[in-house]
Amino acid sequence: MGRIGTVELIVILVVLLLLFGAKRIPEIARSIGRSLNQFKKGMRETDLDEDHGKNGNSRNTNEG
């Protein structure tokens, strides 16, 4: 019930084509891809920072 079928996907692509035109769609796709890569990179850095913070906090609580 929550899945997108082939017909729905075709309708979405046609609407995007009509709204943005054939020339703009590759530009938009590239932009979205770059944004996702930057987001994933930021998430990885945040996870690493949190891991380092947890290790640092556990040492400080044991000392004091």
DSSP 3-16: S--HHHHHHHHHHH
pLDDT of residue 63: 53
42 part of a folded domain: yes
Q: Give yes or no for a contact between 39 and 46, defined as CB atoms under 8 angstroms apart.
A: no
pLDDT of residue 59: 47
Geometric angle at alpha carbon 27, from 22 and 30, rounded to 5°: 130
Q: What is the pLDDT of residues 1-22, one digit of tens each?
A: 688 899 999 999 899 889 988 8
Q: Considering its fold, how many domains does the chain have in total? A: 1
Q: Which domain holds residue 37?
A: 21-48
Long-range contacts of residues 11-18, Cβ cutoff 8 Å, at least 24 apart: none
27 part of a folded domain: yes
| pTM (predicted TM-score) | 0.53
63 part of a folded domain: no
Longest CA–CA separation in the chain, Å: 65
